[in-house]
């Protein structure tokens, strides 16, 4: 019995000795996804902190290769091909490396998923971009990658640490993708799809003739306050203010019936403007 008890205690002791101690990571991992246009990008990286150190020119020597984070490689995934600062990047997952300098950084998109300081090969670079350094308004204690300036087909990817910040402009070719979808759907779009196609053409200064054709088809499938409003705007843009007023008045009637203050205001103002 004593031998069994001793063996049990010994087993527990060994298991306890081999158990890993869980402590906070000095440079915790982070990640995010960002949708813009009709695509999505994904970032995964680690976030070192300044901790009272001189970072650029000291911890990170100027113009030396950096993994753009800590611990493990920083990965960037694009669901579609993009243009970054005017240069093309095919869809896929890449390792982002960088060479921070005094006045500019070189940002590198490398296709080797296992790239490190010891096996880096320039031939694996898919894209290299040099961007100017901007001084941050306030010190950024923990290295941060974020997005900003998000629009219908672009967004900015921002790298910031200590007192330095650099920015990349990402562009997605939404126009080609949308127009291709429109062509494919011309065999029988729904009313909502005709509305969406007309709205896209109107908002992005595509063919007014196409926009009018799409919205007329949507309206023919059922008049609504919204599609009549859009029809009036497209007609006015095409130069036919007389018919634009007719469509706006129909939209106003429906807005008044449902007490929709926004559409009442928009249509009333447009009618007054087009009547001048």
HEC string of 110-168? ECCCCCCCCCCCHHHEEEEEEEECEEEEEEEEEEEEEEECCCCCEEEEEEEEEEEEEEE
pLDDT band at 12 (very low <50, low <70, confident <90, very high): low
Please report the pLDDT score of residue 151 as a whole number: 87
Whether the pLDDT of residue 11 is over 70: the answer is no
Ranges 67-81, 109-123, 200-214, 242-256: which has the least confidence: 200-214
The residue to which tokens 């007329």 are assigned:
216
The residue to which tokens 């869809």 are assigned:
91
Question: What CA–CA distance (Å, rounded) separates 240 from 245?
Answer: 9
Domain 174-275 CATH (choose: 3.30.43.10, 3.40.50.280, 3.40.309.10, 1.25.40.10): 1.25.40.10
pLDDT band at 59 (very low <50, low <70, confident <90, very high): very high
Mean pLDDT of the chain: 88
Q: What is the pLDDT of residues 22-47, one digit of tens each?
A: 656 667 889 999 999 888 999 999 99
pLDDT band at 152 (very low <50, low <70, confident <90, very high): confident
Q: What is the pLDDT of residues 87-144, one digit of tens each?
A: 999 999 999 999 999 999 999 999 999 998 889 999 999 999 999 999 998 999 999 9
φ and ψ at 115, to 5 degrees?
-65, 145
Parts of the chain belonging to CATH 1.25.40.10: 174-275
Contact (CB, 8 A) for 58 and 27: no
Q: Which of 62, 80, 89, 72 is nearest to 168 (CA)?
A: 89
Question: What CA–CA distance (Å, rounded) separates 202 from 195?
Answer: 10
Q: What is the pTM of this model?
A: 0.66
Q: What percent of the chain lies above the pLDDT cut of 90?
A: 68
Please report the pLDDT score of residue 181 as a whole number: 72
């Amino acid at each position: 019995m004593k031998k069994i008890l001793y063996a049990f205690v010994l087993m527990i002791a060994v298991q306890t000795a081999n158990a890993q101690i869980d402590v906070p990571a000095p440079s915790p991992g982070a990640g995010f996804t960002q949708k813009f246009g009709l695509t999505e990008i994904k970032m995964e990286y680690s976030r070192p902190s300044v901790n009272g150190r001189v970072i650029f020119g000291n911890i990170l020597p100027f113009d030396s290769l950096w993994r753009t984070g800590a611990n493990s490689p920083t990965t960037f995934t694009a669901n579609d091909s993009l243009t970054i600062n005017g240069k093309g990047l095919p869809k896929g997952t890449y390792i982002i490396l960088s060479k921070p300098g005094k006045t500019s950084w070189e940002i590198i998109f490398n296709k080797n998923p296992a790239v490190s300081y010891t096996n880096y090969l320039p031939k694996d670079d898919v894209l290299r971009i040099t961007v100017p350094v901007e001084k941050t308004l306030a010190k950024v204690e923990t290295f941060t990658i974020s997005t900003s300036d998000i629009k219908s087909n672009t967004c900015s990817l921002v790298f910031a640490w200590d007192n330095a910040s650099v920015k990349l402009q990402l562009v997605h070719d939404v126009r080609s993708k949308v127009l291709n979808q429109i062509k494919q759907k011309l065999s029988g779009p729904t009313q909502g799809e005709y509305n969406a196609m007309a709205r896209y053409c109107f908002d992005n200064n595509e063919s007014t003739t196409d926009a009018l054709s799409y919205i007329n088809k949507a309206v023919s499938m059922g008049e609504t306050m919204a599609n009549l409003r859009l029809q009036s705007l497209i007609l006015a843009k095409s130069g036919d203010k007389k018919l634009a007023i007719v469509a706006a008045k129909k939209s106003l009637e429906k807005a008044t019936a449902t007490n929709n203050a926004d559409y009442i205001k928009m249509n009333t103002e447009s009618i007054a403007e087009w009547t001048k």
